[in-house]
Structure 1
Amino acid sequence: MTSTTQAVETFDSLNPATDEVVGTYPVHTDDDVNTAVAKAREAFRWWASLGFAERAERLRRWKGIIARRLPELCAVVSAETGKPAGDAQLEVVLAVEHIEWAARNARRVLGPKRRSPGLLLANHAATVEYQPLGVVGVIGPWNYPVFTPLGSIGYALAAGNAVVFKPSEYTPGVGAWLVDAFAEAVPEHPVLQLVTGFGATGAALTRADVDKIAFTGSAATGRKIMAAAAERLTPVIIEAGGKDPLLVDADADLDAAADAAVWGAFSNAGQTCVGVERVYVHAAVYDEFVGKVTERARTVRPGEHYGPMTMRSQLEVVRRHIADALARGGRALLGGTDAVGDRYVRPTVLVEVPEDSEAVREETFGPTVVVMRVSDMDEAVEKANDSRYGLGATVFSRRRGMELARRLRTGMTSVNAPLSFAGIASLPFGGVGDSGFGRIHGPEGLREFARPKAVARQRFRVPLALTTFARSAKTDEFVGRLIATWHGRHGGRDKWNRR
């Protein structure tokens, strides 16, 4: 809902379970966004000048506010997304861990390091360090409105950047809470700012004078972000969803695998980019596994274990995918098209679904799961990789877990536990293919928000000067012999040195 008051357009944030108004926020215009970016540019100079230790101390203040007011933030998350308080707390707790990791490790990852100068320039000292980019624009999602954007914001701030944050129009209150908490911890300058609105506001941020854009959302919107950013050659990080598989080998712990499948598929109403949407099970344990999954899924209740569909339009996507699967010969062991209600979707377990169905090929983003029988794990890997997505995956196997994990075309894989890579702050998070590119979290995430700066410093002069017009023919001859002797000894003899 939008309204106009004193020429300022606003919109309401609604509780998806009740349609109650949670809060009202401005629709920021292009001028508003450009003003925020200009303020961030000034704030960046101060923030970058603090150095790693002082930035870390301030990030820990922010982390402390979040931790102390955990119930307050969780209440905002629950109100805007409809997710249970426990699930809201889980994502906030993980986000706090990531802020701490980024603050603690930024100097180690980004600080100056020596490099070897090599043979020809042995009289030099070579170093590389990572310097902040400047202003980073972060466009966040609604499904995990704390954990996901802070994976960019926290790391960008630790690297020394200022940030302008545009949260989803479904969760502006969460974004406002986080930015206000940061301003309390760092009151000196507007290092982290908020802009709110719809797609046009996000597009304005992408076109603004930012040094990088970090976006989480659909692949279709990601392409638009890239096209707009290309006008200024602004680099981007894209995390664009997935169709994540779970592989179950014949020697797997079936109880643990079934529990992981149910939680991975149905938690957060299936609205998880790394959630389990496809399961490939070895034929030797298929029937037993399916029985365990169905039994557990029957105990999962919408409104108690997970919330409503945050985006009402997603209900039709879920209904269409289920209907297509059934029309192509699939069976619903639990749920089905009638599981899709006005706000909630009951758990749906589908089997015998063809690989070319929408339920297998497209991201459903709802509480459904497709379980398929495979003759062996080679077939499982082949079918799991036959997707334009490549975000996360899970493998359950006692003997071959690591082998299978390495063979999967995904950015992340968890072995014998569901989605644990997301909770380990030192591991990079991101995908391949239509799941996007670039990484948040871990050392790779810190480096995404910094630029490498190489410095070569001559320590002393040598007679063998190569970068001068005064270089003699005798010098060239000596260098040629030196390189031939040093590097030519590898690879055997040839017709020029058979003597």
Structure 2
Amino acid sequence: MVTDHAIRPTTTTTRGPALPASLTPALLTRLTARVSAAADAERVTTNSPYTGVPLADIPVSTPADVEDAHTRARAAQKTWAATPIEKRKRILLRFHDLVLARQDEALDLMQAENGKTRRDAFLEVTDIAITARYYARKAARYLNPKRRRGAIPLLTHTTELRHPKGVVTVISPWNYPLSMAAGDAIPALMAGNAVVQKPDTQTALTALWALDLMREAGLPDGVWQMVVGRGTSLGPTLMDNADYMMFTGSTASGRKIARDAGERLIGASLELGGKNPMIVLDDADIEKAAEGAVAACFPSAGQLCVSVERLYVAESVHDAFVAAFVARTEKLKLGAAYDYGVDVGSLTTPSQLKTVTEHVDDAVAKGATVLAGGRARPDLGPLFYEPTILTDVTSDMTLYDHETFGPVVSVHSFRDVEEAIERANATPYGLNASVWSRNGARGRAVAARVHAGTVNVNEAFAAAWGSIDAPMGGMGDSGLGRRHGVDGILKYTETQTVAHQRLQGFTPPARVSPETWATVLTGALKVLKATGVR
């Protein structure tokens, strides 16, 4: 097992590919024109992570632009809410088809803005197609009026109605620019809301591409709008005008949004940070678990909220697992290419590279051992960092319990299942986890004891994330609220109960004394209980 991280170059591709031909000036101009900003707005230049060269010149919105966007959204939302669900469904299904038909454009944009590999970008395309199809076909079932049991059987007609919140604010991050932008807007739109969204500036083009396709699919003007700018500048105005907040980002920012939403008495759904564990039990298939660990730790260069940063391996299989994991990691192809030829791409921002480097350097300085990777690769591009495996990580090291959000994982051994669960749960976070065992029932039993909103057995994260009919979200410092499933659309609605009382209610009829009426109702309640009525 190699421990000198200075002598392990990773297989590479050539540095600095040119931008794909699909990213024409005409396309970029059309997309940036979708930003809700004044014609003479200041502009900001984004750079491609692969090369550091300028990518796009994007207009910057002001708080006044945010106000204007909400004014237009409120006007458009009234008509949109009155649009039959069947018509909304047809728009989403056309959007589904357009995303798949024009996926190469989206893949090129995501790679150019984010630096991820094409295979990682393709997962976002499939995710959005699945999300659009799911909510298009399930929304009527979730949103249509529902009869509820009335107070008095046969005499009380009770109906539950679902109304859209109004204007939903979506603040989406740079790491999964299509999934996090369109994925949260789709159910909000399908529920009859308008959306005003602030994507991260670095990956705004991908979000604007989704908006452009949704308009092409038939979404009316003003129903979905995007503003671009710093959260410190636009955040207060976004909050002041929102009827609901959907945020994906850091725990620190999420806490502030939750406080502000509480002051305004509006709802909020927050997916925040994570320090996700993977547990390899003593009966796990070692080769499959090692392959699963690669898939858990290094997609999108580790810049994934649900990726694994802590590995706990049973002592009896620890050495065999680590050897297999290191071997697979060292074979990963790190590089920049607008095709499916590489395994791990670039980090997205200089600040992320700085965090990853500082976390690894701090750990090594305090005694951690590098088993694979452990260094930046400026020979490939300005923001590349090798997939890194560390052992001998202790609690005095920053990355022990702080989210790194990069291609870095620490490996630990455990004696028994109780220790594994205790150590996996020894964090304020609780977003995602992974458990590996040949015995499915045993794996599921361990999974149920892990403090995380989603837990995958013999999979990294895709099984739970891809089960879109089930809720996804975090516990503890990883957030509140859920996306996906029925929760993912009903959170964007207000519940209303309409109860129509017929013939006789709870007040006594004429000429019946209150005492007599109380006796009658008492007898009725006893009969209902005896006959099994709920």
1:34-62 alpha-carbon deviations (Å, 9 max, x no partner): 11111111111111111211110111122
2:420 matched to which residue of 1?
Answer: 380
Is residue 66–residue 238 contact of structure 2 (8 Å, CA) maintained in 1?
no
What CA deviation, in whole Å up to 9, does each residue of 1:396-416 have, x standing for no partner?
Answer: 112211101111111001111
Task: Please state how far the C-alpha of 1:297 moved relative to its aligned partner.
Answer: 0.5
Alignment equivalent of 1:239, drawn from 266, 271, 275: 271
Alignment of 1:2-13 (within 5 A): 8-13=41-46
SS at match of 1:261: helix
Cα deviation 1:411-464 (Å, max 9, x = unaligned): 001111121211222121110111101011111101111122212122x31386
AA paired with 1:280? Answer: Y
Q: Which residue of 1 aligns with 2:467?
A: 424
What per-residue deviation string (whole Å, max 9, x for no partner) do you get for residues 309-334 of structure 1? 11211122212222332344321111
Query: Aligned pair in 2 of structure 1 residues 199, 462: CA closer, same or farther (>3 Å)?
Result: closer
TM-score normalised to the size of structure 2? 0.86
- Structure 2 counterpart of 1:497: none
Counterpart AA for 2:41: V
Aligned residue pairs: how many? Answer: 484
Take 1:398 and 1:467, find their aligned partners in 2: how far apart are those partners? Answer: 68
- Determine if contact 2:296/2:307 at 8 Å carries over to the other structure: yes
1:357, distance to aligned residue in structure 2 (A): 3.1
Q: Which residue of 2 aligns with 1:212?
A: 244
| Deviation at residue 299 of structure 1 after TM alignment | 0.8
Alignment of 1:18-417 (within 5 A): 18-118=51-151, 120=152, 122-186=154-218, 188-303=220-335, 304-336=342-374, 338-339=375-376, 342-355=382-395, 357-399=397-439, 400-417=442-459
In the other structure, the counterpart of 1:496 is none
The match for 1:478 among 516, 520, 524 is 520
Task: Determine the C-alpha separation between the residues in 2 that align with 1:357 and 1:145.
Answer: 31
User: 1-side partners of 2:454 and 2:472: how far apart?
Assistant: 7
**Matched residue, 1:493:** none
CA 1:210/1:6 → structure 2, altered by over 3 Å: closer, same or farther? closer
Q: What one-letter code is carried by the residue in structure 1 that aligns with 2:174?
A: W
Deviations 1:205-233 (CA, angstroms, capped at 9, x unpaired): 53232211101111111122223334422
Aligned-pair CA distance for 1:203? 0.3
Q: Which residue of 1 aligns with 2:493?
A: 450
Contact persistence 2:116–2:347 (CA under 8 A) = no
Distance 1:66 1:463, change over 3 A: closer
Between 195-204 and 480-489, report the one with greater CA deviation: 480-489
Aligned 8 A contact 1:229 1:235 in 2: yes
Give the aligned residue type for 1:80: E
Work out the CA distance in 2 between the residues paired with 1:404 and 1:471. Answer: 61
Q: 1:173 to 1:483 in 2, by over 3 A?
A: same
Residue 201 of structure 1, CA deviation: 4.7
The one-letter code of the counterpart of 1:74 is: L
Cα 1:135–1:15 shift into 2, 3 Å: same
CA distances 1:269-317 after superposition (whole Å, capped 9, x unpaired): 1101000111111111111101110000101132132222112111222
| Aligned partner of residue 45 in structure 2, secondary structure | strand
Which secondary structure does the structure 2 equivalent of 1:93 belong to?
A: helix
* CA deviation after TM superposition for structure 1 residue 129, in Å: 2.7
Distance 1:152 1:384 in 2: 29
- Tell me the distance in 2 between the aligned counterparts of 1:53 and 1:142: 33
- Once the 2 structures are TM-superposed, how far is the Cα of residue 485 of structure 1 from its aligned partner? 7.2
Query: Match of 1:170, SS?
Result: helix
**Relative to structure 1, is the Cα distance of residues 356 and 404 closer, same or farther in structure 2, using a 3 angstrom cutoff?**
farther
Aligned-residue identity in percent: 37
CA contact (8 A) 1:245 1:279 kept: yes
Is 1:440 aligned to 2:480, yes or no?
A: no
Question: CA offset at residue 467 of structure 1?
Answer: 10
Determine if contact 1:183/1:190 at 8 Å carries over to the other structure.
no
Q: Give the structure-1-normalised TM-score.
A: 0.91
Give SS of 1:413's match.
Answer: strand
Which amino acid in 2 is paired with 1:472?
P
Q: Is the 8 A contact 1:33 1:208 kept in 2?
A: no
One-letter code of the match for 1:393?
Answer: A
How far, CA to CA, are the matches of 2:64 and 2:419 in structure 1?
54
| Aligned mates of 1:447, 1:268 — CA distance in 2 | 30
Return the alpha-carbon distance in structure 2 between the equivalents of residues 370 and 469 of structure 1. 79
- The more displaced of 14-23 and 355-364 is 355-364
1:103-128 Cα shifts (integer Å, max 9, x gaps): 1101111222222225x455112221
Please, which runs of 5 or more residues in structure 2 have no aligned partner? 1-36, 336-341
Task: Give the whole-Å Cα distance in 2 for the aligned partners of 1:365 and 1:421.
Answer: 20
Question: Structure 1 residues 229 and 5 mapped into 2: Cα distance closer, same or farther (>3 Å)?
Answer: closer
Aligned residue identity for 2:93 = R
Partner secondary structure for residue 393 of structure 2: coil
Deviation at 1:147, TM superposition (A): 0.9
Deviation at 1:65, TM superposition (A): 1.6
- Contact (CA 8 Å) 1:206, 1:225: kept in 2 or not? no
Change (3 A) 1:398 1:178: same
The one-letter code matched in structure 2 to 1:385 is N
Q: Give the Cα separation in 2 of the matches to 1:5 and 1:103.
A: 34
Residues 219-276 of structure 1, C-alpha deviations (whole Å, 9 max, x = no match): 1111222233344223211111211111111111111111111121111111010001
Moved over 4 A (4+): 4-7, 339-342, 466-471, 481-490
Q: Compute the displacement of 1:388 (Å).
A: 0.8
What per-residue deviation string (whole Å, max 9, x for no partner) do you get for residues 352-407 of structure 1?
A: 21245322201001111111100012111111111111001111112211101111
